[in-house]
A and B are shown apart, each in its own frame.
Chain A
């Protein structure tokens, strides 16, 4: 159980184009999803937190107009990198948390997707 998928796993695009990455919780409903960015040999950098049906909360320094996040259902969140540039090339990882009733959200496990490697030429 607790499987999270991401699509696509790899994407190469030209500078100036937009790229959409999907994150799905396959066997549970995720009230909260997170988007991270990981640079080579570095830890995860949280970009934003999204709750189903509401606007995402972006971390300081993350451009909300550039990284559009939509969490339209309890099993799907999307990250759109708009007008991508080479510096946006990175490994993007999503995670999902179920938000179980009666459970402290800070105690809940986040389950991660396999990641999406984005290369902008």
Chain B
């Protein structure tokens, strides 16, 4: 079995400050981790993914995520938040041998002007 946890339902951050959206996972095999963003009444947009290699993954719109195997985490980060970053963020997990992607429950990011 595999699971993904996003411990925060909502994260508030002031515009210009760094932001972190947390994600932890549990899987028996190699994890393949993804971050998606969803704007209201829209589908999910792919931000970045970790498959193997460098633990720091850079993605779209200035976002990056750090894979930490010992802490089984894959937190999403951005050095300077924009108001337009306000959206719902989903962490997702897949692994070899498991047939479907598991999504976290989502974290609502609110960037305050």
Contact = CB atoms under 8 A, between A and B. Distances in A.
A68 to B, nearest CB: 20
Given A107-B32, A112-B36, A43 B42 contact: no
Interface stretch (A14-22, A72-80, A82-90, A113-121): A113-121
Interface residues of B, number: 24
Contacts, number: 53
Give the size category of A's interface with B. Answer: 20 to 34
Interface of A: 2, 4, 6, 34, 42-44, 46, 49, 91, 93, 95, 104, 106-107, 109-115, 117
19 contacts: A4-B43, A43-B103, A43-B104, A43-B106, A44-B90, A46-B101, A49-B99, A95-B43, A106-B32, A107-B49, A109-B34, A109-B49, A110-B101, A111-B46, A112-B44, A112-B45, A114-B42, A114-B43, A115-B43
